[in-house]
Structures are given as C-alpha cells and as structure tokens.
Amino acid sequence: MRDPRNASFTWHDHGGPFRTVSPEQARRYDELGYFVMEHALGAAELQAVREAIDPFEAQQEEALRAMEGGRFFIARADEITFTTHLVLRSALLRTFTGSALLAGICADLIGPDVRLYWDQAVYKKPGTDSPFPWHQDNGYAFVEPQQYLTCWIALTDATEENGCPWVVPGLHRLGTLAHEYSDIGFVCLRDPDGAVPVPAAAGSIVVFSSLTPHSTGPNRTGEVRKAYIVQFAPTGAEVLRPRSDGSMERVPADDGGRQYEVLRGGRPVTS
Ligand SMILES: O=C(O)CCC(=O)C(=O)O
C-alpha cells in the first residue's frame, strides 16, 4: 500500500554521462534500487572515518544506558545506536561527506545541485536479536522529491551473520509506501518475497534510494557491526511535517549547519 502523500510518483531513470558510478551500477540503481560500490574507501580513509565516529558513538551508548529502560526512540543500549548529525561535531566527517567520491555519486544519481540531507552512524552490537525492520528511508520523514539517495558505508565487514542490509529489489519505482510505527522502527513490509541480502566488505558503500525497502538482520557475532549512513537530496527538497491540527507544513531541507551544499551547478562545494 502506498503512502497517501504519494499520489503520483514517477521514477526517473539515469542516462549519464556518469562521472563516478559505472553505467552498470546506474542501471542496477534504476532497475533494482541499489548497488554496491566495492572497496570505495581506502584503508587509511576508512580508519580515519571510523576513528572519528567511535568516540561519539561511545558517548551515545553511555547516554542511552543512563536512560529509563536503556532506550530512546528506536535506539537501545547495548543493541543498536544511532549517532546523528556527526558532521556538526567532526571536521573530518564534514570534509568526507563532500569528498570527490560522494559528490561524484551525487552528481550521477541526483543532479547538479545537491545538499547533505542526513548523516548518522548505526552500530549494531553483539547479541542483537531483533532485525531492524523493513522500511524506506522516506518512510521516516516524507521528503519531496521522494527520490533521494542513501550511502550506507560499511565501516566493518557487514555480513548476514552480523546484520548486513537486505533489500527488496524493484519496489523503489512505486514511490513511498505506507509505514506504521513499531517500537523497533517504522515498518512498511513484513517477510517480503524476493528479499536479498547485501553483504558489504569494510570500506564498501551500499548505494540505494530513499525509496528502496530495506532491513538489517540480527547481529549473532561477537563483534560490533558499524555503518556510517549519509544521505543526499536535491537542493530545494522539503520535508512534509504534520502540524498538530493535521495540516502539513513544508520545511526546506537546508539547515545551515548540517544540510550544506555538496554540489552546485555540478561542481563540488567545499564547506
Ligand atoms: O544500519 C542499520 O542496521 C539500519 C539502519 C537503517 O536502515 C537506516 O538508518 O535507515
């Protein structure tokens, strides 16, 4: 079932020319809704990004443990943490999110004018039994245009055993599906047919659409599964936010501090 705000949606295929993704990756993005850019980050860059994030995640874990029930929204102490808006706290991550690699993916899959929409680290701890439920990223906050970009960057090897992403190929072309809230996250599908695991070696990027239904599995290993998720939207994108009277307000996704320009007229903007 579609989200009622998704009245008329058309997926626009990408015709190139491409500067960073291959024509085959662009084809997979259009047809399936995702592809993996293998070993996109070098070892030194990967280590630097992980080391920039780890201390903030440790603080987040401590803060969660101090909360009633060890929970806040969908985060759970010693299971799964969401450390958001790291670009406000780390110059290294700010530079990384505007790197030639990420800006190039944005140029190929979004367009000439792009802003960072969201960034967060998601760490899944050993012994986390519950999966992260099936959702589209546009199911958390309804953005228009609906079609924005998620780069799920594996900071450690992501495997079926420790909670790699799973996707349902093809459904992104329908636009935003209806979601309902559960205490482990918003849900748009339950046990969908055709779901495929998307393992990713450390340093690889799972590139998918905000409209690609995805989930991540339990972590049955003894190691933390670490990911840094960065999302990009076309300049001018707006979030449709419900007001208390039931009407919708349109909030531009251009927060001066963290939703900065990454591309303007097809050229990287350094912030
Ligand atoms: O990385 C995870 O385990 C789930 C995160 C996710 O799907 C999301 O933030 O949209």
Domain CATH for 74: 2.60.120.620
Q: Which atom of ligand 1 is nearest to the CA of 150?
A: 10
Q: What is the pLDDT of residue 183?
A: 87
Give mean pLDDT, residues 210-226. Answer: 98
pLDDT for 271 beyond 80:
no
**Ligand 1 close to Cβ of residue 184 (< 6 A):** no
CA distances from 28 to 2, 25, 31, 162, 257 (A): 23, 5, 5, 25, 33
- Asked if residue 75 belongs to a domain, the reply is yes
- Asked if residue 90 belongs to a domain, the reply is yes
Residues 6+ apart with CB under 8 A from 259: 115, 116, 117, 253
- Asked if residue 23 belongs to a domain, the reply is no
Give mean pLDDT, residues 99-114. Answer: 98
Q: Which of 79, 214, 226 to mutate to test the pocket of ligand 1 (most atoms within 8 A of CB)?
A: 214
pLDDT for 126 beyond 90:
yes
- Asked if residue 24 belongs to a domain, the reply is no
CA distance 2 to 6: 6
CB atoms within 10 A of CB 111: 15
**Ligand 1 close to Cβ of residue 124 (< 6 A):** yes
Q: Which residues pair with 216 in a beta bridge?
A: 132, 165
The residue nearest atom 10 of ligand 1, judged by CA position, is 137
Q: What is the pLDDT of residue 178?
A: 97
Q: Output the average pLDDT for the chain.
A: 97
Query: Left, alpha or beta for 215 (phi > 0: left; psi -120 to 50: alpha)?
Result: beta
CA distances from 115 to 12, 83, 182 (A): 19, 20, 30
- Asked if residue 12 belongs to a domain, the reply is no
Residue numbers of the domain that contains 145: 38-266
pTM: predicted TM-score of the whole model, two decimal places: 0.97
Q: What is the pLDDT of residue 270?
A: 79
Domain count, the chain: 1
Residue 256 vs residue 99, higher pLDDT: 99
- Asked if residue 46 belongs to a domain, the reply is yes
**Ligand 1 close to Cβ of residue 79 (< 6 A):** no
- Asked if residue 79 belongs to a domain, the reply is yes
Q: Which atom of ligand 1 is nearest to the CA of 124?
A: 3
- Asked if residue 222 belongs to a domain, the reply is yes
